[in-house]
Chain A
Amino acid sequence: MRKPSTPGLLLVGIALVFAAGGNPAAKVGEPAPDFTAKASDGKSYRVSEYRSKFVVLEWHNNGCPYTRKLYDSGNMQKLQKEWIARGVVWFTVISSAPGKQGYVTAEEENAYLARMQAAPTAALLDPTGEVGHLYNAKTTPQMVVINPQGLIIYDGAIDDRPTAEVSDIRTARNYLSLALEQAMSGKPVETPTSRPYGCSVKYP
């Protein structure tokens, strides 16, 4: 008796396409590791399907004061809208494990997105931390930018102000926008990495 194949199962959780080989695979200048993850909108997203576009990965934890600095001020939402309007695909990634700070169900995340007027392409739910580990995500908010060729062109902090104070946003140098702006105009990314500041990712 053969078990019927269950393609639906593929949508559950995360299928890691690249074997990480025990070593974090993600590195600036190298191909972005592929993954498929389920989002709070119920759909599955495979990152390699967005070749030909810039993809932003934003590690997120709605209880982290550093993340809140950017959301309570509306700054992150503004960046999402601005860059998506310019053709960027933006994935918010939530790698908090069940029971840990920042873990959310799909419903909770959808309510949060609506309340905050956040507008990522999708909010990916990564409760096992596999996507986080694949990209060696350490903090929220950590940002990764993948170019249309599928290479990582930025990995690090959102800006140069490692604080939780809203007043610092205005004068900060936003590394994410700089990387996208420079790459889109065919220039090399001036700051391809920075220390990602913030709260630790709450892995299992």
Chain B
Amino acid sequence: MICAATARFRFRVSSLAFFALTCAVPAHAQWVSFPHGTVQLLTETNSIAPGRGFSLGLDFRLESGWHIYWVNPGDSGDPPRVQWKLPAGITAEAMQWPVPHRLGSSSVADYGYTGDVLLIAPMRASANLPLQSPAKIGAQVKLLVCRELCVPGKAEVSVALPVSSGIPAPSSSRALFSAARRSLPQPTPKNWRLTVKEQKNTFVLAAHTGFHVAHAQFFPLGDDQIEDSAPQNLASLAEGFQLELRKSGRLVNSISRLKGVLVLPSGRAYQIDVPVRRAAPGTPGDGLGRSAN
């Protein structure tokens, strides 16, 4: 908006070249406060181009001791909910959520973030996005911020991005985006073999990774599939591990796939999406099989 107004003015008094220069850089993102934190809407590039994807990021900074939630918040809480206000020709894709932390107590376990977190929102610009005016993108964020107690918050953030046909130049926030991408869960390596066996009270996730694993943590994407506060018992295998996940008491219908994020001690996180096999009838007990098969 500022850019457009400036442009009209500049056009009258100065040259078209000056207009291009004035509008090449998006207006600086504004910090917007919500209870116990602030958020700004960042852009990874200084402009966007018709027919190309681009990324925006919601950059949250939280007061010490306070947290917000992952896409599956766990036992309690609620993830930030974002409503985009997009001009015609721009569409939002699914938000990318960095690996969460396990928060809460031994009886109520939540998944979320403390400190600083960047949620990346991939966007798509249609091929016929008009070049002349900057694209103004807004987001209304509703979120729940908790310490021991919870406070609902709301923030409206926006950014105006020039539309030009060239390859967009990186913005000063590019490094933040790169760092956030490194903390996103990755697809599992091709040579891993993953199985999920359903037993009476547990799902047993077995991962044959080709190396010894002494510790692992699973974050479920679906709510009320596993008991979030239950310990996840790990048994090391020669070349991998088995993780015992207690089923949620509220899991009434069986699930066909177990989806989530697996975090290894290296800090590496992997996307898990594995079909669930029912244990053969008569399989004794719930104990961990030690065989590698």
A28 touches B250 (CB 8 A): yes
Pick the contact of A200 from B76, B142, B151, B251 — CB < 8 Å?
A: B76
Q: 1/0 per residue B1-30: CB within 8 Å of A? A: 000000000000000000000000000000
**B149, B152, B224: which has the most chain A beta carbons within 10 Å?**
B149
Pick the contact of A155 from B75, B151, B249 — CB < 8 Å?
A: B249
Q: Find the B residue at minimum CB distance from A155.
A: B250
Bound together, the chains give a CA A156 to CA B251 distance in angstroms of 11
A195 touches B224 (CB 8 A): yes
Question: Which residues from A are CB-within-8-Å of B201?
Answer: 23
A136 touches B249 (CB 8 A): yes
Question: Which residues from B are CB-within-8-Å of A138?
Answer: 75-76, 108
Bound together, the chains give a CA A201 to CA B107 distance in angstroms of 9
Question: Which residues from B are CB-within-8-Å of A24?
Answer: 227, 249
Binding site for A on B (CB under 8 A): 75-78, 104-105, 107-108, 110, 142, 144, 146, 148-152, 201, 223-224, 227, 249-252
29 contacts between A and B (CB under 8 A): A23-B201, A24-B249, A28-B249, A28-B252, A64-B149, A65-B150, A65-B152, A101-B149, A129-B107, A133-B107, A136-B249, A139-B75, A139-B76, A163-B78, A163-B152, A164-B144, A165-B152, A192-B252, A194-B250, A196-B76, A197-B76, A198-B76, A199-B76, A199-B149, A200-B76, A200-B104, A201-B76, A201-B107, A203-B107
Binding site for B on A (CB under 8 A): 23-24, 26-29, 63-66, 100-101, 129, 133, 136, 138-139, 155-156, 162-165, 192-203
Shortest 3 CB-CB contacts between residues of A and residues of B: A200-B76, A193-B250, A138-B75
